[in-house]
Amino acid sequence: MKLHASGEDYLETILVLQKKLGMVRSVDVARHIEVSKPSVCHAVATLRDGGFLTMDSDYFLHLTDVGRAVAEKIYERHCFFTEQLIAAGVDPETAEADACRIEHIISDESFLRLKEAAAQEQD
């Protein structure tokens, strides 16, 4: 199943909230990204059908191995671009918003090359 940016955002949000809260429900996701509960319910159903997450009998959300891999990939990109933009002098709020857009459109190859270049600059 091909994920859209919004699906990747939901997976990333669930990952971040799991790290922060331990257990995550749809309402936590809705609050965190400031969307309606019905929007989250629709996204959760789509992601569940795609094999990216499961929901247990207590309505807690759990990333599958595939869902976790996608979430971690997007989160890594988000953190990298946020840090790079802030280091370049971009306002943190703008850097965060821009990183959220960049993380979805950059190719794996370009991201890898940028990460390598940034690592070489630190050496």
Q: What is the mean pLDDT of the chain?
A: 94
% of the chain with per-residue pLDDT over 90: 92
Question: Is the pTM here over 0.85, yes or no?
Answer: yes
> What's the pLDDT at 122?
78
Q: Is 102 a residue whose pLDDT tops 80?
A: yes
Please provide the DSSP assignment of 9-49 as one string: HHHHHHHHHHHHHSSEEHHHHHHHHT--HHHHHHHHHHHHH
Q: Is 3 a residue whose pLDDT tops 70?
A: yes
> What's the pLDDT at 115?
94
- Is the model more confident about 123 or about 87? 87
- Residue 103: name the closest of 2, 7, 1 by CA: 7
Residue labelled with tokens 């979430």: 71
> What's the pLDDT at 95?
96
